[in-house]
Amino acid sequence: MLTSTMTSTQEVQPKFSREDIRRKGVPEKVPSIIELKRIVPSHCFTPNLATSFYYVLKDLLIVAALYAVMVATELQPFPAVR
């Protein structure tokens, strides 16, 4: 059940019950950045320029392909294709 309280500055602050948190699947304890860095292998945090440019190029090609499909669809003479 969602309830709210008014503070002195008239801001609404929602309060969630533990039942709401469990039902929504929100974890009660979220790991910190330090804990995550300890768990994840160190090679995942080393920057690689070639890999970064590969992902940028791949994203730009996907955007260009989607744009080409959109333009081709808009140029179709039949309204059922649009």
pLDDT tens track, the chain, 82 positions: 455 455 555 555 556 666 766 677 666 677 888 888 899 998 888 999 999 999 999 999 999 999 999 999 888 787 765 5
pTM confidence score: 0.50
Do the beta carbons of residue 22 and residue 10 sit within 8 Å?
no
- Pair 2, 20: CB distance under 8 Å: yes
Q: Which residues fall within 8 angstroms of residue 20, CB to CB, at 6 or more apart?
A: 1, 2
